[in-house]
Structure formats: C-alpha cells, structure tokens
Amino acid sequence: MTTRDWILTAVVFAPLLTGLAVGLPARFGTLVAERYVRALVGTALTLTWLGSVALAIWFWKSPESAFELQLFDLFRVGDVGFSISFLVDTAGVPMMLLTTTLTGIVGRFSFRYMHKERGFLRFFVLLCFFETGMLLVSLSGGLDVLVFGWEIVGLSSAMLVAFFTHRNEPRSSALYVFTTYRIFDVGLLVAGVFLHHYAHSVQFSKAFGGVKWPLAVAHLPTAGAVAVAVALTFAAIGKSAQLPASAWLPRAMEGPTPSSAIFYGALSVHAGAFLLLRAEPILEEVPLVRILIVVIGIATAVHATLVGRAQADVKTSLAYASMTQVGIIFAEIGAGFYRVALLHIVGHAIVRSWQLLRAPSFLHESHVVHDALEGDEWVRGRHAELIFPQKAQHRLYRLAVERFFLESLVRRLLVAPALHLARSLDSFEKRLALIFVGETAPESKGTPGETTGNYTEPQSAAERP
C-alpha cells in the first residue's frame, strides 16, 4: 500500500477506532473523564480532517479522474464476494470534505454545549460512529460497503434522537425514525441483489461502467436497470425524508441541537440524494424513474414549504426548510443536473447546519428585535397569500398545522404494522428459547410510555416536535 492508501484507510477508520477507544472502557465499568473524551475525540476529528484535506489536494492535482483501493475480501465464493474497497472520485471527495469539516466543527461546538450532560460520553461515541458511516457512504467502492455505512448512519441517528432517555417523546420518536429507516432500507438490499444478478458485481467500477463521474455508462438490460433504479430511489426517499416518508424528520429534532445540525440539517438527510448521484449511470438509462424523482422532489418541496410556514418552533421550521431544499435537490438530480445537485448539497448542508447551531441565539435576538419594535411584527414572505384565495388559505393552514395528516397515515399503514410484526417475532423468539431450556414464558409487563420501547402517538398537533 502507498502513503495515499494508508491516509485513505486512516481517514475512514480513525473515527470508528476512536469511538471504540472511548466507549469500551465505560462499557466495562471504567469511569471516563470528560477531558479524556475531549482530548481523544478532538485529536481524532482534527487528524481525520487533515487527512481528508490531503486526499482532496492530491486528487485535484492528480491527472487521474479517480482511484480505487481494494483492501481485502471478507469472503468470496466463486465470482461472488464481499470486498472492502474505496473509491475517491469527483462525487466522493466533496462529500468526504463536507463530512469531516462539519463533524469537526460540530464536535468542537459540542464539547461546551454538552458539558456536564449525563450522556456526554454516549454523544461522542455515536458522533464518531456516525462520521465513520458517512465516510463509508461517501467513499465506498461498491454497494456492499455503502450498505454497511448506511446502516451505521441510521442506527447512530436513531440513538441520538432517543438521547434524552428520561423523556417519553424522544424514545417514541426514535422508534418511529428507526422503523421508517428499516422499511425503506429494504430498497438498498434489493438493489444489491439485482446488481449481483444483472451486473454480476456490486463494485461501482464494474456495475456502473467505470469510475468516471458523471460520465460513466452502466450497461445493464432494461429490466435490470429499472429494477435497480426503483430500488435505490425507494431507499433514498426514506433516508432523505421525501414524500411519503417525510414525517420522521420533524420527530428527529427531539435529539440534542448539535446532532440535529449535523445529522438532519447537513449530512444524514442528504445521504439519499448522494446515493442517487452515485447511481447516475443507471438513472441515465431509465428516464421514467428520473421523471418520478422530479415529481417526488417537487411534491415534497411544496408540501414542506406549506407545512413549515405553520410550525410554532424554530427547529421544526428548519426541519421542513431542509426537507424543501432536499426536495429541490431531488428534482435537480431527476432533471440531470448532477453537478448542480452536488454543489447544492454542499451549500445547503453548510447553511442549514449553521442555522440549527445558532437557533437558540436567533430566538434570543428575535425577542430583542420584537421588544425594540414594541410588539410590531415584521412582514414575512407573502407568496402563498398571493397565490391562494382567502378561503383556500384557511383550509391550507388547517391542513398545514396537522401536517396534511401524513404522519398518522404513514404510522397506520407502515410503522405500526412493522412494529407489530417485530414485537410478534421477538415474543415468538423468546418463547421458543424458553421452550428449549424447559421453562415457561413469564407474564409480559410494562405499559405504553415506559422504557419498554412502546410507540406512542403525540396527543395533538401542539405536542408534536
């Protein structure tokens, strides 16, 4: 391996090793001081950022359009195998820099923000895991490695939504978010199966016709291209909170403000859009799927704009603002403006992360301005009022306050059945295990809202995050 290869490997795995070094002692009962966490995590975040900058400089100065690193095979049977490989190209480098830069900034911010918080150590362990997951998504050389990073991002996201475990609402919201993730992540697994079947490989250099982005051309049969494109779009919809899976994003704001900034304002919410950018060679072969992506993006942007205007708290308003911009990014991808969409992702992630980190200060400043104006409200955008008649405005406001009843619909049709199935399988597994050891199953205890992980629905629109 060359020096470049060692730097790439260190950039990807340094956060993971740091998270383990911080979390394992606490897992075995050792008291870990905040200064130890700050020193170790701060050093790792800084070195990871420096390594990513070095890789980016090398890439932009190199005559190569991309380079691929094959580390090793976890297993191989004939022509089918699971290889740990990375790809550094025009799409991955901006996402790598964005991930390491924003994670470093938010990490430094969180050292003070989370000071003396009961879950201080847990927060930074999950932050390290999250960075590893995003780097795997950004630099993966094949769909199998991308799936691994995708799942790390989803799990760490859900656990940070439930960060304040002493409250019912964060636990309920985390369960809703994680269940939504699991339902739509099926699309990524199905896409991998179809790629193995039609392309005989999930490595992007083989399945997508080369490593040049966005100039590669995938040579798949029509049926295979349609199947893979639809499956990847399904997975991207869930991760990027597009219709009809958008209801989880405002619930995710139950987590700490720094995690909301980097997860749902900057990185995690754009992972679905980046997946579609990575699959650009396949999307080029199926115009109908691209049209579907445009329709979904525009519909989400309109929906989020109307609902966001009726929200009463700043974090939820920013969540719907993020949803609007990601919807526009989806429309750009569907229209074929891949470079524009990548630039939009980077710009929006930086601005939205800054807005969420600054939200508490903004509220204080807005109160100062309100007092200075002696109670007079400044005029906001009136574009919706100019488009719709007066009666329609009242009805739209009512629907926007209830978020067009989308959350209850998704809960009843998708989330609740999935949770019921999971609990039934869990109960069956426990009873089966007790039968094998010759014991009888104990009576189930616990009521909804306790720490048993039961899902609870908010009582009214005012109580939702």
> Is 221 exposed, middle or buried, given 0-12, 13-18 or 19+ CB atoms closer than 10 A?
exposed
CA 301 to chain centre: 18
CA 17, CA 20: separation in Å to the nearest integer?
5
Cα distances from 189 to residues 141, 147, 152, 184, 292, in angstroms, run 16, 8, 15, 10, 21
Query: Do the beta carbons of residue 125 and residue 23 sit within 8 Å?
Result: yes
Q: What is the pLDDT of residue 344?
A: 96
pLDDT at residue number 71: 82
Please, which residues bridge with residue 85 across strands? 70
What is the maximum alpha-carbon separation in the chain? 76
Give the residue carrying structure tokens 């969420």. Answer: 356
The separation between CA 77 and the C-alpha centre of its own chain, rounded to angstroms, equals: 32
Distance, in Å, from the CA atom of 360 to the CA atom of 373, rounded to the nearest integer, reads 20
The DSSP code for 65 is S
Q: Give the pTM.
A: 0.86
State the pLDDT at residue 186.
Answer: 94
Q: Coil, helix or strand for 169?
A: helix
CB neighbours of 359 closer than 8 A, spacing ≥ 6?
257, 314, 315, 318
Name the token pair of 129: 């895991």
Q: How far apart, in whole angstroms, are the C-alpha atoms of residue 18 and residue 38?
A: 11
The tokens for 365 are: 């400043």
**Predicted local confidence at residue 30, as pLDDT:** 81
Q: How far apart are CA 303 and CA 294, in angstroms?
A: 14
180 Cβ partners below 8 Å, 6+ apart? 238, 245, 247, 248, 410, 414, 415
Q: Do residues 426 and 212 lie in contact, with contact meaning Cβ atoms separated by under 8 Å? A: no
Buried/exposed code over 421-448 (b: 16+ C-beta within 10 A; e: otherwise):
eeeeeeeeeeeeeeeeeeeeeeeeeeee
Per-residue pLDDT, 377: 55
The per-residue pLDDT for 446 is: 46
Picking from 166, 38, 140, the residue whose alpha carbon sits closest to that of residue 85 is 140
Distance separating alpha carbons of residues 36 and 9, to the nearest angstrom? 25
C-alpha dihedral over 377, 382, 384, 389, to 10 degrees? Answer: 90
| Residue 283 near residue 289, CB atoms below 8 Å | yes
Q: Tell me, what amino acid is at 113?
A: Y
* Chain centroid to CA 307: 21
Reading the block at residue 283, the tokens are 């999307």
Q: What is the pLDDT of residue 440?
A: 60
At 133, give phi and psi (nearest 5°): -60, -45
Distance CA 23, CA 13 (A): 15
DSSP 270: G
Q: Cα separation of 106 and 41, whole Å?
A: 12
DSSP state of 232: H
Assigned token pair, 213: 């982005």
| Angular region, 167: left φ>0, alpha ψ -120 to 50, beta rest | beta
Q: What is the mean pLDDT of each run of 10 residues along the chain (465 residues)?
A: 90 94 86 90 95 93 84 73 85 95 94 90 94 95 92 93 89 91 93 89 79 74 91 95 90 88 89 94 92 96 88 85 95 94 95 86 63 58 66 72 75 84 87 78 48 46 44
User: Is cis: bond before 258, omega within 30 of 0?
Assistant: no
Per DSSP, the three-state class of 67 is strand
